[in-house]
A and B are shown apart, each in its own frame.
Chain A
Amino acid sequence: MTGYLAIEIKRMLRGPRFIVFAFVVPVVMYLLECMLYKKQTIPHSHGITYSAWLMCSLAAYSAFTSSMHTTARVSHERQIGWHRQLRLTPLLPRTYLLTKVFVAMVVALPGPAFVALFGWLVQDVHLSASGWLQITLGIWIAALPCAVLGLVIGLYVAPEQQQMYLQGLIILFGFLGGLLLPTTGFPDWLVNIIKVMPSYWLADIGHGALLHDTRALVGAAVLAAWTLVLSGAVVLSYRREAARA
């Protein structure tokens, strides 16, 4: 188990493209969006600035994209027959799957912290200690369903198509789900719809750091439900593969 985990992490660190997309892109987008909104505050928000709000959103976005990074690897490994190769070893399927989720989580950790760092240093955002914890560790934990979702796509979608799925998800989650744009200007009916998405709640965990409200419980419940459903899909896929082979 540890041997397998070690090699997975080693592989992850070898992908420079991954580092760019997981760490650099969210930060750059954050800084760009801040320029767009200048130093404005969000209407009816009791003085919350866009730069603070976006910091939370993009921290969540970073966690989301980096945790989805397993997708490409899993579907590639499936296609080249690495899964079959592994099934000829004592490695248990569930160890493989858990390791993939674990690795996804490991690489999702630095992203939010990175964005937060820039928010603090460059955009001069101030939060309480618990606020900082919430947008780093809190978001990180909340990214769990995304990590599992990445695995699901990797297991179900062929490598040629998964880029399309990922783009679709980024649009869906990123723009509608509140990761890339503030949903503050959205009409109520739309907000109600997007409340189903895990990304909304992922971002909400971050925004909670600014709002000091206690919706985190609802968010945790929604995210946990997503994790469960997606895990079910993972198990189903692996069973299917085992039966069909």
Chain B
Amino acid sequence: MTTTPKTRTERDEGGTTVTAPSPTQPQTETPSTDAASKTGRGKKRAGAKRRTGAKTPAAVQAPADEQKPAAVQAPTGEQKPDAVQEPKPVKGPRHAAPEPALRITGLRKDYGDVKAVRGVDLTIAPGEVVALLGPNGAGKSTTVDMILGLAKPTAGSITVFGKVPYVAVREGLASAVLQEGSLIDDLSVRETLGMISSLYKDPLPMDEVLRRANIEDIVDRRGTKLSGGQRQRARFACALVGNPQLLILDEPTSAMDVGSRRKFWESMRKFTDTGRTVVFATHYLDEAEEFADRVVLMRSGQIAADGTVAEIRALTAGRLLRAAVPGATADELKKLPGVTAASIRLGQAELHCDDSDAAVRALVTRYADAHDIEISATGLEEAFLTLTSDDDASQDDTRNTEDEAA
């Protein structure tokens, strides 16, 4: 038993490069990926995007457009995401021959006055591994619930492999490891799996489930005897029993220590290597970077950005220039050469630059008393923070950018 997983792992390591997804990916990704990858990433794209951005939201690259300015200042998302997302559902599905693994159209969910999800359109092709990022309250979990038929959308529609969510779940097409949701304490993992197995018409054989979920070691323990990480792996096993084509994970590793996380993602690789579709919500950006082909960033119930990890990272691939610039306003700083967006936070200017060299020269020339200058590269985390930040400063920025673009 020990040997089998091992060899598997090794094999997986080779296949880790997300083999499965790539063939199918282009189909749905076309709108955004095209724009991004063909234009090349980084600076050029940034420019191009900004030009198109505000004016022609319907353009094919709309998502990309959106992202760049948004990257610089989250808020663009505020008004435009609707426009921005539109091309996707329209385009993707029509050209994609096979039924998408997941198609979400105009999805909304209100809890009383709280608008948890405010218009999400998303199409995911079979085989894609998609990370769903966003701060708490961005609407990730609500969206996940609706994808699984656990919550009813206020408006909009969802299909999973062309079927209504609850039908897809019942038929074993889709399954999930949710954030909350526990195992029964007085049953052993094996008993729980056996029971769930008896509910499916055509379940995976138990041995297969255990091997895939990497839980041979804990299968005879009762729920009470499991650590957080073990429990989560056991729940992953529960999700595998029905042999799903689409697996949804809502912060699957939040209760895990480092070791458990590694083990978990190891088994997840095995799973995605078989060409299954995975959508996972996470707070760990490194997980998204490492495992996802595509990143969907949510903010305030909408999609703020959608693209490959590289693309998203490229949104802020410029440099971030921080400096104390007494007396300067974000507006003025924005106009410096090489600067794509500017904001002032806690008395410190934050300039997103596509040419930080030009920017820093101009800055010190024009503002002689600028000090504490610091230039840093931006990564996915930076992209995440800027794309999802909600504060006023960045809202101002948005307007600025839009003005300029217009």
Give A residues with C-beta under 8 Å from B. Answer: 2-4, 6-7, 10-11, 14-15, 77, 80-82, 84-85, 87-91, 242-245
Contact = CB atoms under 8 A, between A and B. Distances in A.
B150 interface: yes
B215 to A, nearest CB: 16
Most-contacted residue by chain A among B150, B178, B191, B242 (CB, 10 A): B150
B151 A7 contact: no
Contacts of A87: 148-150, 169
Interface of B: 145, 148-152, 169-172, 175-176, 178, 180-184, 186-187, 191-192, 194-201, 235, 238-239, 241-242
B249 to A, nearest CB: 12
A112 B239 CA distance: 41
Given A4-B199, A7-B191, A245 B151 contact: yes
A3 B197 contact: yes
A-B CB proximity, top 9 nearest: A3-B198, A81-B181, A245-B151, A80-B182, A81-B180, A7-B195, A245-B150, A84-B181, A85-B181
A84 B178 CA distance: 9
A243 B152 contact: yes
A159 B180 CA distance: 17
A4 B199 CA distance: 8
Contacts of B150: 84, 87-88, 245
Contacts of B191: 7, 10
B178 A85 contact: yes
A84 B187 CA distance: 17
Nearest to B171: A90
Contact of B145 (A2, A11, A245): A245
Contacts of B199: 3-4, 89-91
A8 to B, nearest CB: 9
Contacts of B197: 3
Contact of B195 (A3, A77, A243, A244): A3
Contacts of B183: 82, 85
Given A3-B194, A10-B191, A84-B150, A89 B182 contact: no
B238 A90 contact: no
Contacts of B151: 243-245
A6 B194 CA distance: 11
B174 to A, nearest CB: 8
Most-contacted residue by chain B among A81, A89, A243 (CB, 10 A): A89
A7 B242 contact: no
Contacts of A90: 169-172, 199-201, 242
Given A89-B196, A90-B172, A242-B152, 18 more contacts: A4-B195, A7-B195, A80-B181, A80-B182, A81-B180, A81-B181, A82-B183, A82-B184, A85-B178, A85-B182, A87-B148, A87-B150, A88-B175, A88-B178, A88-B238, A89-B199, A90-B169, A90-B171
Contacts of B187: 7, 10-11
A145 B194 CA distance: 31
22 contacts: A3-B197, A3-B198, A3-B199, A4-B195, A7-B192, A7-B194, A10-B187, A15-B186, A77-B184, A80-B180, A81-B178, A81-B180, A82-B182, A87-B150, A88-B169, A88-B175, A88-B238, A89-B241, A90-B200, A243-B151, A243-B152, A245-B145
Most-contacted residue by chain A among B169, B196, B235, B239 (CB, 10 A): B196
